[in-house]
Amino acid sequence: MSTDDKTQNGSGLEVDEFSGTETTGHTWDGIKELNTPLPRWWLWTFYATVIWGLAYTVAYPAWPLVSSATKGFLGYSTRGAVEQTIADARAAQSDKISRITELPLEDIKADEDLLRYAVAGGKSAFLVNCSQCHGSGAAGGANYPNLNDDDWLWGGTLEAIETTLKHGIRYSLDEETRVSEMSAFGADEILNREEIEKTAEHVLALAGLDHDAALAAEGAVIFEENCAACHGEAGEGNHELGAPALNDAIWLYGGEREAVISQITKPKHGVMPGWQSRLSPTTIKQLALYVHGLGGGETSAR
């Protein structure tokens, strides 16, 4: 195409004859590029975003400097926002928290609304601190007690649970911890193998399980002499000493004959840390209410 054929507009730019749009003046193998203007709405939107972007960097932290970024006029920071949210939540809960701190456990339990709040808090504290041993549903596992049932080693009243939580069980760092130790009747040669087997038969009989009646009758005598002091004559256990009830269907270390013999021979002793150095008294109260409310909590004597 010769220069003479070109249509030109006022500013001397070539105008494409088919579309009537000016071209950029570039040609590639005879193909010309149209200089199509941007749609106006697009252009204005673009300018608006530029202005918005600049305003944003002035209003909010944006420009990196040597040691930190510009703070922004609004003084906003995500960390600050989180702190504010947490502070607001704390403030909103402060009334309930302080009532839980001040009121006795029984009073909290009587207040339906407060109890629901305390139990919800107790549950989350339980999942963080307790579920590692007792399980997320508090159902325990082998060697770790199930907290849903109605069988308690050291007592299942609110106060007893709170004490256990505070001081732990056989927890050497707390002087007030709950301590008891069952003699290793086999390992320390207090009883011989035969006597232990007879005693185990009697224990099975107490729990209503399959047993050899003749051996159990002999075992009853040995039980009375060696075991009844802590476990009780009928094997009903003793919360004061953390002695488990033997006449029920719940076995911490297993209810099979072998497991019972093993426990008499060389007993296992569970350890639980005391939590008062790590958790606030309020959280411990919430935990006690949660555990008590799992379904097996005992009513206090008073």
Partner 1 sequence: MATMAEDATVTAGDPVEPIDASPVNKPEARKLYAARVKIFPKRVSGLFRRLKWWILSLALGVYWITPWIRWDRGPEAPDQAVLADLAHRRFYFFFIEIWPQEFYYVAGLLIMAGLGLFLITSVAGRAWCGYACPQTVWTDLYISVERWIEGDRNARMRLDKAPWSFGKIRKRLVVHAIWLLIAVATGGAWIFYFADAPTLVRQFLTLQAPPVAYTTVAILTATTYIFAGFMREQVCTYMCPWPRIQGAMLDEDSLIVTYNGWRGEPRSLHRKKAVAQGKPVGDCIACNACVAVCPMGIDIRDGEQLECISCALCIDACDAMMDKVGLARGLISYSTLRDYGAHIADAKATSPQQATANQRKVHVSHIVRPRTLIYFGLWSLIGLAMLVSLSLRERLDLNILHDRNPLFVTLSDGSVRNGFIVKILNMQGAARTFELRLDGLDGAEMWLAGGEEQRGRSLEMRVEPDKLREFRLFVSQPRDAVKPGRADFDMIVRDRDGPESVTEDAQFYAPE
Instruction: Report if residue 234 touches partner 1, rule: CB under 8 A.
Output: no
Placement of tokens 């007690």 in the chain:
145
The nearer residue to partner 1, 151 or 218, going by C-beta atoms, is: 151
Q: Which residues pair with 141 in a beta bridge?
A: 144
Site for partner 1 in 105-124 (CB under 8 A): 109
Verify binding: residue 10, partner 1, rule CB under 8 A. no
Q: Which is nearer to partner 1, 185 or 290 (CB)?
A: 290
Are the C-beta atoms of residues 66 and 73 closer than 8 Å to each other? no
Total number of residues binding partner 1 (CB under 8 A)? 24
Q: Which of 70, 101, 136, 172 binds partner 1 (CB under 8 A)?
A: 136
**Quick one: which of 23, 77, 148, 265 contacts partner 1 (CB under 8 A)?**
148
Contact mark string toward partner 1, 192..221, x via CB under 8 A: ----------------x-------------
Pick from 248, 257, 261, 276: which binds partner 1 (CB under 8 A)? 248
100 touches 108 (CB < 8 A): yes
Phi, psi at 24, each rounded to 5°? -80, -10
User: In terms of CB distance, is 184 or 241 closer to partner 1?
Assistant: 241
Q: How far apart are CA 194 and CA 109, in angstroms?
A: 50
Contact call for residue 150 and partner 1 (CB under 8 A): yes
Q: What is the 3-state secondary structure (H, E, C) of 221-251?
A: HHHHHHCHHHHCCCCCCEHHHCECCCCCCCC
Burial readout 96-124 (b: 16 or more C-beta within 10 A, e: otherwise): bbebbeebebeebbeeeebbebbbebbbe
Task: Quote the tokens at residue 74.
Answer: 């609004």
Is 159 or 218 the residue whose CB approaches partner 1 more closely? 159
Sign of the torsion formed by the C-alpha atoms of 198, 200, 203 and 208: negative
Q: Which stretch binds partner 1 (CB under 8 A): 23-31, 36-44, 160-168, 218-226?
A: 36-44
Answer yes or no whether residue 249 interacts with partner 1 by CB under 8 A. Answer: yes
Query: Which residues are CB-neighbours of 190 under 8 A, at least 6 positions away?
Result: 183, 184, 226
The first and second tokens of residue 232, run together, are: 């009780």
Q: Which of 103, 133, 250, 261 binds partner 1 (CB under 8 A)?
A: 250
Count of positions (residues) in the chain: 302
Q: Residue 151 interacts with partner 1 (CB under 8 A)?
A: yes
Rounded to a whole number of angstroms, the minimum distance from the CB of residue 35 to partner 1 is 12
Closer residue to partner 1 (CB): 96 or 134: 134
Between CA 210 and CA 125 the distance in angstroms is 41
Q: Distances from the Cα of 9 to the Cαs of 4, 20, 205, 283, in angstroms? A: 14, 10, 112, 82
The least distance separating partner 1 from the CB of residue 250, rounded to whole angstroms, comes to: 5
Enumerate binding residues for partner 1 (CB under 8 A): 36-40, 109, 135-139, 146, 148-151, 208, 245, 248-250, 293, 295-296
